[in-house]
Amino acid sequence: MNRSYYWTKTWGAPDVPEYDALALSHEGTRQRILDYIQPGDIVVYLTSDAKESDPMLRGRLAGAVEIADPVQEVDVESLRPDMKRPPEHYRAGDGRFRWPYGIAVSRTWSFIEQESNDTLIPDHALKGMQGAASIHEMRPEEIGRLMSLNVREQVKGEATAKLPFQGSLHRPWHQKAGMRGPANVNPGTHLYIAQIYDDYGLTFKVGSGKAADRIEELNRYRRLTQGEAKWSERSSSQFATVSGARAAEDFILLEAKKAGYGSDDHSEFLVGISNRELNALYSKAIEIGLAVGAEEKVV
């Protein structure tokens, strides 16, 4: 999908898609956006410095939304009629709701990492009040930084997994890999990254198969009662096929070793790699693994 990426400023993170929209103060602004916005486009929310903003997010990335297909107008206030909104959501002068003009969204995310607005969009402040009034196109380098940041998709009634943004985009939460219904899930189709922190620093283990079983095996000879560190799961994604998971694993290890992060202790260990670099490789690996699985299904 050829998406476009934009940013705007809000008072906090988006809600689940059923209760939220890209909310705007003026109908004219919405009409201008509707002239170019496309289904699947992404709008990233930067939390403003306004006193009404979520104090836990102020000055940092809050979340992101995906524009619904078809693109359609919605009345934001009516999306959740049973919810009592705080007084600051209404104008002091005439009592009108501040952001009645909405554009429907199909997916929403909240950011886990404490990434500042300044880091992702260095010149966001130059937009002044327009930063919150409309949406603004992101540059390629800004999109690149966005892709490696950890997010959780907002899904009504469900707790979702932490994934780099690029990985989550390519793997909607409602799409479950493997056989379902009366059949059993294909065994050994996870890509996983385990991590351990000890006196020698942080080490990652990249593998494929049954994630829980493999990590349990890593800890089999750790002397936990004597205070030795334990391997823990950092990331895990399931694919439709064993080949998809293995292709994803091979990609991460190959690229990380080419960058100098391999370990002489084990062919699947990585050392010295930053979380952001690993997230970027993991996101691309998910894309590769899904593609391999899709090709096998076609055959």
C-alpha 287/C-alpha 144 separation (Å) is 15
β-pair type (42-47, 5-10): parallel
- Number of H helices and E strands in the chain, helices first, is 8, 13
Mean pLDDT in order along the chain per 10 residues (299 residues): 90 91 92 95 92 86 95 86 73 80 94 89 89 92 89 88 83 49 54 91 93 90 86 88 90 95 93 93 89 64
The third-level CATH classification (topology) of the domain covering 5-167 is ph1033 like fold (3.10.590)
pLDDT on residue 33: 96
| Amino acid (1-letter code) at residue 215 | I
- Which segments of the chain does DSSP mark as H helices, in order? 27-34, 117-120, 130-133, 140-147, 165-170, 211-218, 242-258, 275-298
Written as six digits, the tokens of 241 are 């096929």
Domain ranges of the chain: 5-167, 190-298
Q: What's the pTM value of the predicted model, to 2 decimals? A: 0.66
pLDDT on residue 167: 81
pLDDT on residue 179: 37
pLDDT on residue 293: 67
In 3D space, the residue among 145, 239, 153, 150 whose CA is nearest the CA of residue 188 turns out to be: 239
Dmax (CA) for the chain in angstroms is 69
